[in-house]
């Protein structure tokens, strides 16, 4: 009879020990699920941002949509980087690059819907009843938002004009409470709390930006261009690292330096936002007020970043995930 109690005591001790060890382990954080909306064909940093996001273990890219980069210079200049501006389709360029990147990184399983080819409304503004551009990207955002569980949010990251997500909210206003939108745009005077919308992404769809800023139901995070501008990559160092990695993706990233006629360095605007999301310790996020003309509501603003740390994190990830 004693031996039975001995075995039971040992079993009980083992069970208690297992429970103690198991519940003492830190809970594994789930990757952040995001839809990335990018004007990939515009410059170079979009490609680096997309690759950085897909390779990150802390970010689960569930969609990659294309955005237009229609701007006034396309009407006055003969070329936009390597692209002739005659009959240019900026959305198509972004879509093709998105598909090329996904193929090179062997992630064609990620949905990659095409976005809108023009802004909301008219050049003189937007009002209820004004035209809304339809697109597969907008339909995808609405569908994904409607699948979000109660109390959770769908994260959409806009690296260019905010047309696709702004249109989605205009078509389905009820999804605003289900979204967390991170965008790159405007400039911000941190000391005086003054916004300036004279910035490339905003210029490509001011109407869409105004709608997002004024929507009090929407959780909004802004990386101003004045903040992200401190993240710069040197051409010589970057090309050397990419050559060492030797991967189809690194070939595309290296090729882009020539395609956009980059000089000795390039500002990695879009990558700064992605790195700030993946590594929150590399950026300062503060609650500030949106522009007065958009209601002056509380939004989250990146007011400072650590560019050297961001750059180191990016190259470390590429070398670990793509290097031989």
What value does the mean pLDDT of the chain take? 93
Q: Is there a contact between 69 and 44 (Cβ–Cβ < 8 Å)?
A: no
**CA–CA distance, 201 with 165 (Å, rounded to integer):** 14
Which whole-number Å values give the CA distances from 319 to 120, 140, 314, in the listed order?
Answer: 40, 32, 9
What are the tens digits of pLDDT across the range 35-79? 999 999 999 999 999 999 999 999 999 999 999 999 999 999 999
Which whole-number Å values give the CA distances from 80 to 41, 160, 161, 176, 292, in the listed order?
Answer: 10, 16, 17, 35, 34
Q: What is the pLDDT of residue 22?
A: 42
Among 67, 302, 95, which residue's Cα sits nearest to residue 187?
Answer: 302
Residue 311 DSSP code: H
Which whole-number Å values give the CA distances from 295 to 151, 210, 211, 290, 299, in the listed order?
Answer: 26, 10, 11, 7, 11
88 vs 15, higher pLDDT: 88
Q: How confident is the model at residue 323 (pLDDT cuts 50, 70, 90)?
A: confident
Q: Is there a contact between 182 and 59 (Cβ–Cβ < 8 Å)?
A: no
Helix and strand counts by DSSP (H, E) for the chain: 13, 13
- Average pLDDT for 275-292: 98
Q: How confident is the model at residue 24 (pLDDT cuts 50, 70, 90)?
A: very low
Q: Hey, what CATH topology would domain 35-322 get?
A: Inosine-uridine Nucleoside N-ribohydrolase; Chain A (3.90.245)
Q: What is the pLDDT of residue 35?
A: 98
pLDDT at residue 18 is higher than 60: no
The residue count of the chain comes to: 324
pLDDT at residue 141 is higher than 60: yes
pLDDT at residue 220 is higher than 60: yes
Among 323, 233, 318, 324, which residue's Cα sits nearest to residue 53?
Answer: 318
Residue 217 DSSP code: T
| Helix, strand, or coil (residue 65) | strand
Backbone CA torsion sign across 93, 94, 95, 101: positive
Q: What is the pLDDT of residue 27?
A: 52
Among 80, 91, 90, which residue's Cα sits nearest to residue 260?
Answer: 80
What Rg do the C-alpha atoms of the chain give, in angstroms? Answer: 23
6 vs 214, higher pLDDT: 214
Q: What is the pLDDT of residue 6?
A: 43
Q: How far from each other are the two terminal CA atoms of the chain, in whole angstroms?
A: 62
Q: What is the pLDDT of residue 21?
A: 41
pLDDT > 90: what percent of the chain? Answer: 89
pLDDT at residue 267 is higher than 50: yes
Q: What is the pLDDT of residue 33?
A: 95
- The whole model's pTM is what? 0.91
Domain residue spans of the chain: 35-322
Stretch among 27-31, 201-205, 262-266 having the lowest mean pLDDT: 27-31
Q: What is the pLDDT of residue 28?
A: 57
pLDDT at residue 100 is higher than 80: yes
95's torsion region: left (phi>0), alpha (psi -120 to 50) or beta? alpha
What are the tens digits of pLDDT across the range 157-180? 999 999 999 999 999 999 999 999
């Amino acid at each position: 009879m004693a031996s039975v109690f001995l075995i039971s005591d040992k079993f009980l001790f083992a069970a208690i020990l297992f429970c103690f060890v198991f519940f003492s382990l830190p809970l594994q954080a789930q990757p952040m699920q995001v839809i990335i909306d990018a004007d990939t064909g515009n410059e170079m940093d979009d490609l680096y941002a997309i690759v950085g996001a897909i390779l990150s273990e802390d970010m689960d890219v569930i969609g990659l949509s294309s955005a237009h980069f229609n701007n006034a210079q396309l009407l006055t200049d003969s070329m936009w980087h390597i692209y002739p501006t005659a009959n240019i389709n900026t959305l198509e360029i972004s879509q093709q690059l998105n598909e090329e990147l996904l193929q090179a990184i062997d992630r064609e399983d990620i949905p990659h819907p095409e976005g809108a080819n023009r802004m909301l409304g008219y050049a003189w503004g937007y009002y209820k009843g004004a035209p809304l551009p339809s697109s597969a990207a907008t339909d995808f955002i609405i569908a994904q938002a409607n699948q979000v569980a109660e109390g959770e949010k769908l994260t959409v990251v806009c690296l260019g004009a905010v047309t696709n997500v702004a249109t989605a909210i205009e078509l389905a206003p009820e999804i605003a409470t289900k979204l967390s939108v991170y965008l790159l745009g405007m400039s911000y005077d941190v000391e005086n709390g003054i916004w300036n919308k004279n910035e490339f992404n905003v210029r490509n769809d001011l109407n869409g930006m105004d709608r997002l800023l004024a929507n009090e139901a929407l959780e909004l995070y802004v990386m101003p261009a004045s903040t992200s501008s401190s993240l710069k990559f040197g051409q010589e160092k970057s090309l050397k690292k990419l050559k060492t990695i030797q991967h189809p993706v690194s070939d595309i990233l290296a090729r882009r330096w020539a395609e956009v006629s980059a000089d000795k360095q390039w500002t990695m605007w879009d990558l700064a936002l992605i790195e700030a999301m993946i590594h929150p310790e590399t950026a300062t996020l503060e609650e500030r007020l949106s522009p007065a003309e958009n209601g002056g509501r509380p939004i989250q603003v990146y007011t400072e970043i650590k560019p050297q740390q961001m750059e180191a994190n990016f190259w470390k990830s590429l070398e670990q995930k793509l290097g031989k």
